[in-house]
């Protein structure tokens, strides 16, 4: 197994560690979670660059890389949902998009077609990762920075807004993906 694919698998393995830390009750859990999340997010950028630079692009990597992103971001959104930092509807939209696109990839793969992530999907993923990191860092600030401590409701509002923004981007990128996939996949096979 090549290094880019190992990094992709590492991102999946980091997700439960991130979740355990975020939901634990120790001091600075938001900051530690943000660091873990950032480290996992960096592997997303590194694995793709390494694969292209070393000419190690594989079907395995093209299919698993987006799944690893989904595992990591979904883990965060589910934690935020449990913590009251986002709406169940925004998470439902995000998850529905992710399952639908993954299903389309499986259909395409069964037909010998690999449809890699397009620019809209990459923008969606980047926006999700930045939003998650921002929510985590703001959570740390609310707990330990006096000015922010009095603004818990503002924090919740910003958190809800950021997750809704990523939900909208998820839906838009999903529609774009389906439009592109429709041209390449035979739905009557």
Q: Residues 58-103: pLDDT tens digits? A: 777 777 888 898 999 999 999 999 999 999 999 999 999 999 998 8
Per-domain boundaries in the chain: 3-182
Nearest to 137, CA basis, from 122, 159, 157:
159
Q: Which is nearest to 165 in space by CA: 134, 124, 133? A: 124
> What's the sign of the alpha-carbon dihedral 56, 59, 61, 65?
positive
- 83 phi and psi angles, rounded to 5 deg: -85, 0
CATH of domain 3-182: 1.20.120.1760
| pLDDT over 70, % of the chain | 99
Rounded CA separation 15/35 (Å): 12
Q: pLDDT (tens digit, 9 = 90+) per residue, 10-56?
A: 999 999 999 999 999 889 999 999 999 999 999 888 887 877 888 87
**Rounded CA separation 98/100 (Å):** 5
Name the strand (E) or helix (H) holding 144: helix 119-144
Q: Which of 128, 6, 144 is nearest to 75 (CA)?
A: 128
């Amino acid at each position: 197994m090549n290094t880019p694919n190992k990094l992709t698998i590492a991102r999946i393995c980091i997700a439960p560690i991130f979740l355990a830390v975020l939901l634990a009750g120790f001091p600075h859990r938001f900051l530690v979670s943000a660091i873990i999340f950032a480290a996992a997010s960096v592997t997303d950028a590194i694995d793709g660059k390494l694969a292209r630079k070393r000419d190690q692009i594989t079907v395995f990597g093209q299919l698993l890389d987006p799944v690893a992103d989904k595992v990591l971001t979904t883990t965060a959104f589910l934690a935020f949902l449990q913590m009251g930092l986002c709406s169940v509807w925004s998470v439902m939209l995000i998850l529905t998009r992710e399952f639908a696109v993954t299903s389309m990839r499986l259909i395409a793969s069964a037909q010998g077609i690999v449809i890699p992530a397009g620019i809209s999907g990459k923008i969606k993923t980047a926006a999700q990762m930045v939003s998650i990191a921002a929510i985590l860092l703001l959570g740390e600030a609310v707990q330990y920075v006096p000015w922010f401590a009095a603004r818990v409701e503002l924090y919740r509002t910003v958190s809800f807004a950021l997750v809704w923004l990523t939900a909208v981007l998820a839906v838009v990128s999903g529609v774009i993906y389906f439009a592109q996939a429709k041209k390449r996949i035979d739905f009557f096979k």
